[in-house]
Amino acid sequence: MNFLGYPRADGRIGVRNHVLILPVSYEMNQVADRIARTVPGAVTFRNQHGLDQSGEDLAQTLRVYKGFASHPNVYGVVLLGWGHEPFDLMEIADAAVIAGKPVELITLEQVGGMRQAIERGQHSAKLFLTDRDQSPQESVPLSNILLGTECGGSDACSGISANPALGVVSDKVVAAGGTSILSETTELIGAEHLLAQRAVTPEIGAQILYIVRRIEESSMRMGVDLRGAQPAPGNIAGGITTIEEKSLGCIHKAGHSPIVEVIEYAQRPTKSGLVIMDTPGHDIEQLTGMVAGGSQIVIFTTGRGTPTGSPIVPVIKVSTNSFTYERMRDNIDFNAGTIVDRVETVAQAGERLFQQMLDVLNGQRTQAEKLGHREFGIYRIGQSF
Amino acid sequence: MEISGRPWTIMDTADDVATALMDLSAGTVVDDPDWQLHITLRMDIPFGHKFAIRAIPKGGRVHKYGQVMGSAISDIEPGDHVHVHNVESLRGRGDLVGYKSPTGAVQEEETPQ
């Protein structure tokens, strides 16, 4: 099974060909925004982070920037810094260069202010946009795909319709030699024993139990009842009663494949097959982590119609019920409510979703892409000082 | 889930609850020969919400997907709406001193007020 992709110098395959304006701290948001607004075709996002991080937290932030700068869906990068970051901007630029991308590194300090930074950025972005149109496309096997799976705004149908349908797609990607990411560690609480049983080695099983214990302990260290946030008010309105119930429904989106690896936030999988990435349940932090880890496509199931997307990765929205599909037509790409309506089986809906994923890999734009969604957020594991 | 034509679904033989696939009114008779089920709904059950298909005593474990999804905080009768008013989570309970999760996480400190 093949799709049309953009081969990159590092061996990965892009399914989009973006010119990314990448602001590595909030100081550069205004510059990035001005460049993207004036150069049609370029993409960017608003960044809340970039400074005041330290230790592991900083390492994680850097991992996200490197993951975006070297991402297979990105043709070229305009990297924007202030010049006072607590890290070496060259490290990020190098990650993109190693992946074979043209990079322009601009710092405010070096060019002497906003106006010059915007002009330099506009110039480079235009150049990259002209060059990217020469990028050859090739028919490549599905084994090149790293699928990110996500659920947000879950309702009681998530575990009955959309997640099992996504599970069918995940299993098919894995069977074709590709990779699928299950994440949202908070939403594994209460279902981790089932996943541990599916690990290919006892060590990986122990890692699954460890990351779940770690997130549960961190909520307990704060002396909070997780029920304040999980399940969320929208989940409860949709019929989900406890985090265990939510988790037991969540894991259906990972199908039935064995689990071959557990990776940290924003890390790249080293194996093909089903992997677990340790991320929070927060939709955008999770999405950003999977994209930084190299996912070229994300399938996102939603009971409530979550209006989000990524600046560089197509996100296919799948509604769990037909009411939400009708109410949120602008935001939803696929209705798995047909399973609840008893007009399709899980297997039938899964096959239809798989075909739609192939269409999107081949260039069909998702609703989130058409609407210009470009959310970005880094999972912080340390404090700002 | 197979296509059954019934406006509710039960995910596993071990389950204590069914999920409504449309808004169901109190008094609706739930007759499901496949599950040897014959109960009358005691409350309105909104779309996506759960009702008990067997009695669950206070403190008893509540099962869905064949797994434990929480614990009953009051006696639950067949046909009752099963939700946050009568079921609580057993996990991530930092509010409970001495709480121990199945994975070994323990809440030891007094919860600050």
CATH of domain B8-88: 2.30.130.110
Question: Residue A109: inside a domain, yes or no?
Answer: yes
Residues A202 and A289 in one domain: yes
* Model pLDDT, residue A220: 75
Inter-chain residue contact B48 with A155, CB threshold 8 Å: yes
How far apart are the C-alpha atoms of A77 and A89, rounded to whole Å?
Answer: 13
- ipTM for the whole complex: 0.86
The reply to whether residue B88 touches residue A242, judged by beta carbons under 8 angstroms, is yes
pLDDT of residue A64: 97
Q: Within a domain: residue A216?
A: yes
* Nearest Cα to Cα of residue A93 among A75, A109, A117, A77: A77
B-chain CB neighbours of A244 within 8 Å are: 67-70, 89-91
Q: Which of residues 16-35 of A touch B (CB under 8 A)?
A: none
Q: What's the maximum distance between 2 C-alpha atoms anywhere in chain B? A: 52
Q: Are residues A219 and A262 in the same domain?
A: yes
Which of A67, A89, A64 minimizes the C-alpha distance to A79? A89
Q: How far is B18 from chain A (nearest CA, A)?
A: 11
Instruction: Provide φ and ψ at A368, rounded to 5°.
Output: -60, -35
Inter-chain touch B94–A224, beta carbons under 8 Å: yes
Position A313 in a domain: yes
| Residues 47-86 of chain A whose Cβ lies under 8 A from any Cβ of chain B | none
User: In terms of Cα–Cα distance, which of A338, A290, A11, A15 is closest to A165?
Assistant: A338
Closest of A318, A266, A325 to residue A292, by C-alpha: A266
Q: Tell me which chain B residue has its CA closest to the CA of residue A210.
A: B103
* Chain B contact probe: residue of A225, A323, A341 with most B CBs at under 10 A: A225
Rounded to a whole number of angstroms, the distance from the CA of A329 to the nearest CA of chain B is 20
Q: Closest Cα to residue B73, out of B83, B86, B64?
A: B86
From A107, A132, A157, the end of a domain falls on: A132
Look at residue A228 in the predicted model and tell me its pLDDT. 63
3-class SS letters over A283-302: HHHHHHHHHHCCCCEEEEEE
Is the same domain home to A228 and A277? yes
Which is higher by pLDDT, A222 or B56? B56
Q: Quick one: A292 and A346 in the same domain?
A: yes
> Across the interface, do B47 and A194 touch by the CB < 8 Å criterion?
no
Q: How confident is the model at residue B2 (pLDDT cuts 50, 70, 90)?
A: very low
Residues of A (138-157) whose Cβ lies below 8 Å from B: 155-157
Helix axes A162-175, A346-361, angle to 10 degrees: 60
B3 closest CA partner among A349, A172, A171: A349
Same domain? A213 vs A356: yes
Tokens matching residue A309: 């997307």
Whether residues A113 and A166 fall in one domain: no
One domain, residues A156 and A122: no
Kindly state the tokens that stand for B55: 């009695």
Residues A310, A354, single domain; the answer is yes
Task: Please give, rounded to a whole number of angstroms, the shortest distance from the CA of A56 to a CA of chain B.
Answer: 23
Quote the pLDDT of residue B106: 53
- Inform me whether the C-beta atom of residue B93 falls under 8 Å from chain A C-beta atoms: yes
Low-confidence ranges of chain A (pLDDT < 70): 223-229
A164, A212, A239 member nearest B46 (Cβ): A239
Residues A181 and A106 placed together within one structural domain of the fold: no
In angstroms, what separates the C-alpha of A229 from chain B's closest C-alpha? 11
Give B104's contacts in chain A (Cβ within 8 Å).
213
Quote the pLDDT of residue A51. Answer: 78
Radius of gyration over every alpha carbon of chain A, rounded to an integer in angstroms: 20
Residue A244: which of B9, B48, B70 has the nearest Cβ?
A: B70
Q: Is A157 in the same domain as A303?
A: yes
Q: Does B35 touch chain A (CB under 8 A)?
A: no
Examine the domain organization and report whether A167 and A309 are in the same domain: yes
CA nearest A101: which of A288, A269, A312? A312
Give chain A's domain count: 2
Residue that finishes a domain, picked among A132, A158, A173: A132
What is the pLDDT confidence band of residue B113, given thresholds at 50, 70 and 90?
very low
* Cβ-defined contact of B11 to A236 (cutoff 8 Å): no
Domain stop point among A77, A101, A132: A132
Which range marks the domain in which residue A69 is found? 18-132
Would you tell me which residues 306-365 of chain A have a C-beta closer than 8 angstroms to some C-beta of chain B?
321, 323, 339-346
| Closest CA in chain B for residue A209 | B103
Q: What is the pLDDT of residue B90?
A: 87
Is residue A346 domain-shared with residue A220, that is, in the same domain?
A: yes
A193 close contact with B: CB closer than 8 A: yes
B interface mutation test: which of A342, A344, A346 has the most B CBs within 10 A? A342
Sorted by where each begins, the domain ranges of chain B are 8-88
Residue A30: give its domain's CATH number.
3.40.50
| B95/A249 CB distance under 8 A | no
Residue A57 lies in a domain: yes
